[in-house]
Amino acid sequence: MKKMKTGNLVKTTLVFVAVLFGAMTLFAGIRVLTGADPGYVVFRPLLLYNTLMGVAYVAAGAIAWRNPAAGMRVAGIIFALNAAVLLAVVYLYRTGSAVAIDSVQAMTLRSVVWLVLLAGFAWLSRAARPAAPGQE
């Protein structure tokens, strides 16, 4: 019983983080797309990517709520995409393109958050599996 309560608390927390992070990403992206000045140079392709990913983050939270194993797979895809974009942004920043250090830091944060969510959903998926015979 205690294992189930812990699992439900972890699942609720992970889903909450995914959905809140997605909503905040959407809000920030839409603000800048509609003319708000973030205070640094905006690399428009990254802004569009992050705003669209805000939708994906919210969807991932909804998927994970219904099925943590599917949530783990979606979190893995999101982490991989964010890590790839992070590598591209770091490259662009280091080669002097119009990418602000703020963008590098934001993509680093996004990648770390989704790595943690991936690890959490992976833990949930393992914890939810029935024990093999003889390993109970």
pLDDT in tens, 4-55: 687 899 999 999 999 999 999 999 999 999 999 988 889 999 999 999 999 9
Phi/psi at 135 (5° precision): -115, 20
pLDDT band at 103 (very low <50, low <70, confident <90, very high): very high
The residues near 91 (Cβ < 8 Å, ≥ 6 apart) are none
Calpha distance 113→59 (Å, rounded): 16
With beta carbons less than 8 A apart as the criterion, state whether 29 and 47 touch: yes
Position 107 scores a pLDDT of: 97
Position 9 scores a pLDDT of: 94
Amino acid at 102: D
Residue 91 has pLDDT above 60, yes or no: yes
Phi/psi at 102 (5° precision): -60, -35
pTM value surpassing 0.85: yes
With beta carbons less than 8 A apart as the criterion, state whether 63 and 74 touch: yes
With beta carbons less than 8 A apart as the criterion, state whether 121 and 71 touch: yes
With beta carbons less than 8 A apart as the criterion, state whether 5 and 115 touch: no
Closest CA to 34 of 9, 51, 21, 22: 51
Calpha distance 4→78 (Å, rounded): 27
Residue 62 has pLDDT above 90, yes or no: yes
Q: Above pLDDT 70, what percent of the chain?
A: 91
